[in-house]
Chains A and B, each alone.
Chain A
């Protein structure tokens, strides 16, 4: 079955700790994205990657870091510099290119930092 997996579904951390959220896809997509969702707000783009070993900041990249060493994987690290890390994090992937393509979303990780 092709798709995107995110793990874990729920994650709890103490303030001041870095935490890494996993995102893996087997859709052979070049482009991958990380979004953050807060109650009552639309999804906001954190980072995206159009190709392996390359990534760009989205609208709210401060306090986050990513890597894209493999096509299938795009992990997101929430650092201690992120002021309000508690949120629902969604990973997505799509075919890359100049033509619009549908994005496929993972099930999400709900991060709670106390």
Chain B
């Protein structure tokens, strides 16, 4: 069974801090997604990656296929980064996603 675990569940930090959110999964996958959910509920896709590292602005996502682990990093964090960050995995040949429970990030000014 494909299980996705995120840590921490909740994270509070001060503006400017470097943030790391972790995601571990249990089976081989074709891709891993990082999503952002704002308080209103809408979800935005941040990254989809199957190997290595991707960067978009202050956000960096990495994945280690052998260790079945991915991290999402936020540099120079800002209060507008406050949201729930969700990791989801996708199996080979399937479009269905399996989701982690999310990490609630709060950045204080």
| Residue of A43, A44, A48, A99 contacting most chain B CB atoms (<10 Å) | A43
Select one of A43, A100, A107 contacting B48, CB under 8 A. A100
20 A-B residue pairs with Cβ-Cβ distance under 8 Å, sorted by A, are A35-B99, A42-B4, A42-B86, A42-B100, A43-B86, A45-B96, A48-B96, A88-B41, A98-B92, A98-B93, A100-B48, A100-B90, A101-B48, A102-B48, A103-B95, A105-B42, A105-B45, A108-B41, A108-B42, A108-B43
Q: What class of interface size applies to chain A in its complex with B?
A: 20 to 34
Q: Does residue B12 face the partner (Cβ distance < 8 Å to A)?
A: no
Q: How large is the interface on B (under 10, 10 to 19, 20 to 34, 35 or more residues)?
A: 20 to 34
Contact mask A83-108 → B, CB, 8 Å, 1/0? 00000101010101111111111111
Which residues A31-87 have CB closer than 8 A to chain B?
Answer: 31, 33, 35, 40-45, 48, 50, 58
Residue in contact with A48 in the complex, picked from B42, B88, B95, B101, CB distance below 8 Å: B95
Q: Mark A11-36, 1 if CB is under 8 A from B, else 0.
A: 00000000000000000000101010
Give the chain B neighbours of A94 by CB distance below 8 A.
Answer: 95
Chain A nearest CB from B68 CB (Å) reads: 16
With beta carbons under 8 angstroms apart, the residue of B40, B45, B102 that contacts A103 is B45
Write the B39-59 contact mask toward A (1 if CB under 8 angstroms, else 0): 011111100101000000000
